[in-house]
Structure 1
Amino acid sequence: MRRHLSWISSVVVIAGLLVGACSNSGDKKTPDTPVSREANASPGVTADEIHFAAIGTKTNNPLGTCLYDCFIQGINAYFDYRNSEGGLDGRKLKLTTTIDDALAKNKEGSLQIINDNDTFATLSVPMLATGWPDLANAGIPVYSVPWYPDDMNGHDSIYASNGVECIACTRHFMAYAPKVLGDKKIATLGYGVSQSSKDCANAATDTIKLYSKETGQQVVYTNNGIAFGIPNGIGPEVSAMKNAGVEFIVSCFDINGQKTLAQELKRQGMADVPILQSNSYDLTFMKNAGDLFEGDVLGVAFRPFESNGEGNGLALFKKWMEKSGSKLTELAEYGWIAAETAYQGIKAAGPGFTQASVVKATNALTSFTAGGLVPAIDWSRQHEMPTQDDPATHGPKQECMSLLTYKGGKFEFIGGATAEKPWLCWPGTDRKWSEPVPTDFQ
């Protein structure tokens, strides 16, 4: 649920200068002296390499999805790409420390990274980001995925594929998606044990209400107290939605929860009711579910694989993922984006970079897009959470989301989004209703 970058700033230091000697017989040049790298005493930086740590949840991942491994695949693919060009100022980028936090030990793993003091920055994909305050206090740059706005909030050294986002605030796309399909009776669902899921469901309810005059929509059923994992099924809730005449569901569940919901909808004869999902961009999972997700809508915050890769980083991502023999996944693209953020921040910091100077340089990037993989983010002001009343001060210049529907075993753009302009964007200056503008970022 929830962007970044400036390109090419040289950090090469020339150790020698070309000198000429004049004589009556003409000019003569001495041979070029070799390029040398400025000495750097930062943790994890050697004459030949920049070392990184990765920490995340592999063991005990309650979602059962490819989280940690896929994130690392994207990181390594990006490092392979940059290293094929000579690395950064001649230094290779290398993942030298990998830690499985086993869900409950993110703090312990983060403290290990701090105490070892042999890596420059940390790439993190935890289920519980309990170690982030320690990493931030130690001044270690952290690069992650866009699911932890509360943990990112106020920390100017923690980065994701978007700025700090207000999950509890209204979002245009939650009302626009059912409007595209002509649906007006809406249900909103969330887990009771997860505050972010509850906030998401409440935001969906508030969104439908806020734009009801313009869309004609109304919330006819809402429930933000569903048990995580839906262990007892969701039959009574689906029956209540059926009785209420629900035509469209905004779901704040995980991918497995959406499947349980879709199965029950089909069982009760409501298979034609679309679900808006924000974290189910997994074509293999969709296909393996048969026709359960047919007609459902996905909100995707990064550049979808179905979009045009010309002139942006998508083609490079696909190329280097293929070279590594890895599958294209949402988490791998997030890993690539995280690594790109780290690279560009170090490059912008210049020779003799330190952890502090990289944070400062990254926070001077005011239109970072990870090479067109995410909508533009201004890191000079998007480390603070925006509010419902003030979306502009700390929010994105544009509120953007890519909308796709699942049909016939593939994802298709809807609502005006296209392969060339995959995002639908609204002005970030206020929360008034307007039609979105199909947009591309480079």
Structure 2
Amino acid sequence: MPNRRSRFLRGKGSAVALSLCAVALCSCDFSSGVSAGGDLCVTPGVSADKVNIGLVLTDSQDDASASVFRAYRAGVEARISLANAEGGINGRKITYRWEDDQGNVRQNLFAAQSLVGSDDVFGLIETTAVASGSAEYLNGKGIPVVGIGIERQWSEYRNMFTHSYTAVQGSSVTTWGQFVRERGGRRAVILVSADNDASISSAQQLGDSLRSVGVSLADTITVARGITSQTGLVQKIRSSGADTVIGALDGDTFAQTMVSARQAGLRVGLYMSAPPGYSQQTLRSYGSGIAGMVAFAHFAPFELGLPADEHLLKALGQYAPYLQPANQSGAGDGWIAADIFLRGLETGGSCPTRENFIEGLSQLTHYDAEGLLASPIDLGSQRAAVSPCWYFVQVNADGTQFEPIGRVPRCGEVIQGGAGSGSGSS
């Protein structure tokens, strides 16, 4: 496949340049053109005035999933562009190339090998559900990776860093169960995606959280997107006698289920979604049909208007104006991932290496993305821990916006050695 390369301009020109880069492999250069003039550093991807990194994302799935990944890329672009506008990292500007892994494990490995081998990048940012495809390869070569921690490999390899672990076995927090109980929930069902490690692990964490505060788990129901009958699914929820339905799956599927259940006259006191439910795409698609739906998030909701949120939104408007609306959760995740990567580069000083990047981030024990995260995280000894603090939002009565439930995150206690939620029905 041919290489298409384009220099990103600042401001509105970014949108034009992005359209020129919309192919499977693209080189994107965000900078003011100022040379660092630093010492020569013999490190892959590092020159006297630049550090070239790679981005692996899924950009070719259905609209609901693709919109999240594209928002993530906008967040990455905005954070890198801002860093370059402020002089780069230790005098070097940051450039990146990206490849689409098509949501396929083998393609993910190919994308990583291409970026590391042919393009000689320093490290990778990944926004994909199949990072497991390249995890062993990248770990073996000591390549730094930052991204979305939705597979178990993110907690197993020392070269992989994330701000939110959703696939940690045997660990949970009481936070979600406490919220359900406060809302009157006493008997719940959890919806889980078929053959999805992140969804299965999240369901186990949620089940342990519910049981820890005395909320019974009536059933864990496996849902195959586009295959499972909504009629049959609603009947299973009805038969369970649950007063609470929790989605450990994508926001679109959960919203479909909520709408179908209401149309069938099913009375449920609380519908609560994992972070994917906090989505502007879902809100636009389902509107008042999901009024009252709750979602929890690991970073401050945009609707709070915190300084960290406003800083992010301003950068998105300046460097990624094509993302509309800008207040998309995927953009927040991309911004934070890029920020972590930049922190790693900073620790390398005048000559960053892959090893001192990994060592440097491993010593970062109180990272909060300058106030975006619900609670500081430890990227070292506690790097695979589930955060005890979460924000909660709720769709308003007319289905037009999310409203924060309180202005501060809710924090619970860590649960170790949970029993897991079991396989459930399908």
**Given the two structures, how large is their TM-score scaled by the length of structure 2?**
0.81
State the distance in 1 between where 2:93 and 2:278 align. 32
Q: % of aligned pairs identical?
A: 18
State the distance in 1 between where 2:128 and 2:416 align. 32
The answer to which of 49-58 and 241-250 deviates more is 241-250
Change beyond 3 A, Cα 1:359–1:244: closer
Equivalent residue of 1:288, what SS?
Answer: helix
Change beyond 3 A, Cα 1:339–1:242: same
Q: Deviations over 1:215-265 (max 9, x none)?
A: xx333x313333x11524232332243344322111212122112211221
Q: Tell me the equivalent position of 1:265.
A: 261
2:71 is equivalent to residue 70 of structure 1: yes
Q: Deviations over 1:397-432 (max 9, x none)?
A: x61111111113222222xx31xx2x1112448699
- Amino acid in structure 1 at the alignment position of 2:389: C
Change beyond 3 A, Cα 1:61–1:168: farther
- Amino acid in structure 1 at the alignment position of 2:246: V
Change beyond 3 A, Cα 1:406–1:265: same
Equivalent residue of 1:265, what SS?
Answer: helix
Q: Deviations over 1:130-175 (max 9, x none)?
A: 0122112111111101322x12122111111235752553432331
- Amino acid in structure 2 at the alignment position of 1:370: A
Structure 1's consecutive aligned runs of 4 or more residues displaced over 6 angstroms after TM superposition are 429-432
Equivalent residue of 2:262, what SS?
Answer: helix
Q: Tell me the equivalent position of 1:275.
A: 271
What does 1:173-252 align with in structure 2 at a 5 Å threshold? Answer: 173-212=175-214, 217-219=215-217, 221-226=218-223, 228-252=224-248
Change beyond 3 A, Cα 1:240–1:163: closer
Q: CA deviation at 1:266?
A: 1.4
Which runs of no fewer than 5 residues in structure 2 stay unpaired? Answer: 1-34, 419-426
2:40 is equivalent to residue 39 of structure 1: yes
Q: CA deviation at 1:72?
A: 1.7
Larger radius of gyration: 1
Q: Deviations over 1:353-401 (max 9, x none)?
A: 2111111111111101121222211112134x4xxxxxxxxx36x6111
CA contact (8 A) 1:177 1:403 kept: no
Equivalent residue of 1:371, what SS?
Answer: helix
The answer to which of 319-328 and 358-367 deviates more is 319-328
What does 1:8-407 align with in structure 2 at a 5 Å threshold? Answer: 36-60=37-61, 64-95=65-96, 97-104=97-104, 105-116=107-118, 118-129=120-131, 130-148=133-151, 150-162=152-164, 166=168, 169-212=171-214, 217-219=215-217, 221-226=218-223, 228-270=224-266, 273-278=269-274, 279-310=276-307, 313-323=308-318, 324-325=320-321, 326=323, 327-374=326-373, 375-383=375-383, 385=384, 395=385, 399-407=388-396
State the distance in 1 between where 2:377 and 2:204 align. 25
What does 1:418-429 align with in structure 2 at a 5 Å threshold? Answer: 418=407, 421=408, 423-428=409-414
RMSD: 2.5
Equivalent residue of 1:236, what SS?
Answer: helix
CA contact (8 A) 1:163 1:382 kept: no
- Amino acid in structure 2 at the alignment position of 1:425: C
Equivalent residue of 1:352, what SS?
Answer: coil
Which runs of no fewer than 5 residues in structure 1 stay unpaired? Answer: 1-33, 386-394, 433-442
Equivalent residue of 1:144, what SS?
Answer: strand
Change beyond 3 A, Cα 1:199–1:356: closer
State the distance in 2 between where 1:224 and 1:65 align. 25
State the distance in 1 between where 2:77 and 2:200 align. 35
- Amino acid in structure 1 at the alignment position of 2:265: G
Q: CA deviation at 1:271?
A: 6.0
CA contact (8 A) 2:189 2:221 kept: no
Q: Tell me the equivalent position of 1:5.
A: none
Equivalent residue of 2:277, what SS?
Answer: coil
State the distance in 2 between where 1:147 and 1:163 align. 6
Matched residue pairs, number? 373
CA contact (8 A) 1:205 1:222 kept: no
Equivalent residue of 1:259, what SS?
Answer: helix
Q: Tell me the equivalent position of 2:26.
A: none
CA contact (8 A) 1:61 1:127 kept: no
Equivalent residue of 1:246, what SS?
Answer: coil
- Amino acid in structure 2 at the alignment position of 1:102: Q
Q: Deviations over 1:262-308 (max 9, x none)?
A: 12211211265421101111134214313221111101012211124
State the distance in 2 between where 1:127 and 1:268 align. 33
The answer to which of 71-80 and 56-65 deviates more is 56-65
State the distance in 1 between where 2:198 and 2:36 align. 50
CA contact (8 A) 1:57 1:103 kept: yes
Change beyond 3 A, Cα 1:35–1:208: closer
State the distance in 2 between where 1:320 and 1:99 align. 24
CA contact (8 A) 1:167 1:200 kept: no
CA contact (8 A) 2:171 2:205 kept: yes
Change beyond 3 A, Cα 1:248–1:167: farther
Bigger helix fraction: 2
State the distance in 2 between where 1:333 and 1:39 align. 34
Change beyond 3 A, Cα 1:184–1:254: same
